[in-house]
Structure 1
């Protein structure tokens, strides 16, 4: 349900790690990998110091080169001496040959991956959030070809454009993408149809040296995973530059080459958007990138879980924080609950409003959309007669602002019975829970939205502490 973050933090971390390795001397040694760190790296101990090594698995014994930092070490495999029982051969050639950074765990079998993600959530809640929970259950589905969205980097070169992804240890480089085993095949097919246009010197691109290309899977029925193959479409979004003289001819050429493409959008560096459409039903570019679900099948299961979690508290009034395009808001309003949706993105807020208008008499005025940051909307949510029974938080990777957790801790919010927090980052979830001592965890459930990676979606349901109520 949450919008996935970009790769800027990953790029900064990779660049910082590379600079640190260049500045610090390397040591060598034999390391036994004991477990996974939160980012998917294997971790073992060398002379009592934790050493983090990418592309390793618990049970591996490897000769590694590592650099010492203040409290830990970072290493790379020189030679694998003993293979873990969890280790498998990576399915994608880019994973090994190009050190592709899109996946972190292709070298580990599926059951071990899922168990690792469960442990990451449990351990992070314990270590950062000071919350002890049992190993959370995990809902999983497809392990391959599940991604309904593919985002690539395009770089201008003397012979044309190169498009692909970054190596996990070098954010400055981009390798040419041939295949992506976690992306839906139709997205990869569209990428192959698009590549000749990047090399065609008669087809000008936007005036930038680097662009971002987004491919999103659509369905004309609006249901991606259950539609027939012929029903699936692709929306293409190109981002960057300020001038694109050949936009119309380039877009028309792509539409001819790839009949599955329903729309081509260009979003300039200043945020303005323009489109060449195959039909009049294409969504706005902002929705195409910000609100498209990566894994539609698991996203459906997550939405059902969240709806059940909210309604178990039998609420009269719900705040749907970080509401996106309003799917949950609409469903709750149709079911008879009063809902205030808060969404800072104008595109998302407009779509939420449109959903409520389309529902008409079914919602009977029970739904309201506030286009604002959650922390800025607090005064409107706390006014007399508007305090909710249940709050849903579905923030981006950075988690919620401290003012939101302070609001939930405030004495004026004593009537709030339930809190449903949807998280795409266990670390920020744990941090935010540490700021809410008045709330007890009812349940934690993981959703395997991103197989082959270290990322996991988590739904944490909380209720007001009985001790706080008694006080």
Structure 2
């Protein structure tokens, strides 16, 4: 992939860009094998991604001025490097970014300056569905700009007819956190359909979805394929997000419960379950607390934790439980290896690297464990 920003040394986020893509895949596969050394595994070949145009979301820092806005990343000097032409984004996202920059001028959205701590607009967050619809979020310090955003929203919709959901997120504090707790939905619709294969999922403004729709589909398809021959009547999807694994594991006569700390994600997952029919339900709560407090153990547990992994308490519970199979999706092979070491009675029978984040050291690993 060629990137003018990288060549000009304006952005070096893609740390492996100069490494041939086949070598990137081999490097990530070797990294996983090394981390899981000594674990008996059926190793699948790493699953490749598109090398450009694969990111379904853009998390853009707002900078510059009202007259000359920028959308990109924060530089070391506190200024914003514009990255509207980043080749990683899906075409529909890339096409929306210049329009959103012009909207900043039309609605007089003053970019937040981290050095002076003045201004209103901190981030513009854009997510595209597989069908090409958009969810756009404006992260603001206060509600001062909300009336102007509402006033100019019809013109934005005219220019972006595939804009399905727009919202404002209020983030009043000066911190490195991306967003605040309060969300104001500006459109009639609050749910963005994210269809993956035969499953219709929904995304709310504060919900999480995988960075690449292509690789998300591959991940859920693998999960369904790897568990197709397993016998289970009950299953848990812990750290379930918007319910991707749970919805793909549903089958007649099986009870599936998804657990997620985000209320927004649970609301979206519940809407998906209503469309899909019975057998799947979702609860808001802590995954570890849910497992430790459950009256009965399931036959199958899926975990898809953040980078820190599932932790000692949940790993210890799984080790001492009677759960027959665990499907572990990890974005950090080091925490994955640590968690597997804490569960020696669960043997790894299958593993595969999925290149969710090309040109970086990050990737997803899917592992099937059997007691």
The normalised TM-score by structure 2 is 0.84
- 3-state DSSP of counterpart to 1:187: helix
- Residue 443 (1) aligns with residue 350 (2): yes
Tell me how far 1:372 sits from its aligned partner: 0.6
Map of 1:429 onto structure 2: 336
How many pairs does the alignment contain?
348
The residue correspondences of 1:25-174 to structure 2 (distance < 5 A) are 91-126=2-37, 131=39, 136-155=44-63, 157=65, 161-166=69-74, 170=76, 172-174=78-80
Matches of 2:49 and 2:66 in 1, distance apart?
Answer: 43
The 1:208–1:135 alpha-carbon spacing in structure 2 relative to 1, beyond 3 Å, is farther
- 3-state DSSP of counterpart to 1:139: coil
Map of 2:323 onto structure 1: 416
The 1:451–1:329 alpha-carbon spacing in structure 2 relative to 1, beyond 3 Å, is same
- Residue 372 (1) aligns with residue 285 (2): yes
Matches of 2:40 and 2:248 in 1, distance apart?
Answer: 33
Map of 1:280 onto structure 2: 189
Alignment gaps of 5+ in structure 2: 113-117, 172-179, 194-201
- 3-state DSSP of counterpart to 2:165: strand
- Residue 180 (1) aligns with residue 91 (2): no
Which of 294, 319, 325 in structure 1 is aligned with 2:236?
A: 319
Tell me how far 1:101 sits from its aligned partner: 4.0
Tell me how far 1:92 sits from its aligned partner: 0.5
The normalised TM-score by structure 1 is 0.67
Matches of 1:195 and 1:337 in 2, distance apart?
Answer: 48
Tell me how far 1:190 sits from its aligned partner: 0.5
Map of 2:125 onto structure 1: 214
Matches of 2:108 and 2:65 in 1, distance apart?
Answer: 15
8 A contact 2:56–2:127 mirrored in 1: yes
- 3-state DSSP of counterpart to 2:161: coil
The 1:203–1:152 alpha-carbon spacing in structure 2 relative to 1, beyond 3 Å, is closer
Map of 2:160 onto structure 1: 258
Matches of 1:312 and 1:292 in 2, distance apart?
Answer: 27
The 1:201–1:359 alpha-carbon spacing in structure 2 relative to 1, beyond 3 Å, is closer
Tell me how far 1:134 sits from its aligned partner: 7.3
Larger of the two Rg values belongs to structure: 1
1:18-48 Cα deviation digits (max 9, x unpaired) = xxxxxxxxxxxxxxxxxxxxxxxxxxxxxxx
Alignment gaps of 5+ in structure 1: 1-89, 219-223, 465-471
Larger mean CA deviation between 422-431 and 348-357 belongs to 348-357
8 A contact 1:217–1:233 mirrored in 2: yes
Map of 2:177 onto structure 1: none
1:67-101 Cα deviation digits (max 9, x unpaired) = xxxxxxxxxxxxxxxxxxxxxxx601111313424
8 A contact 1:441–1:462 mirrored in 2: yes
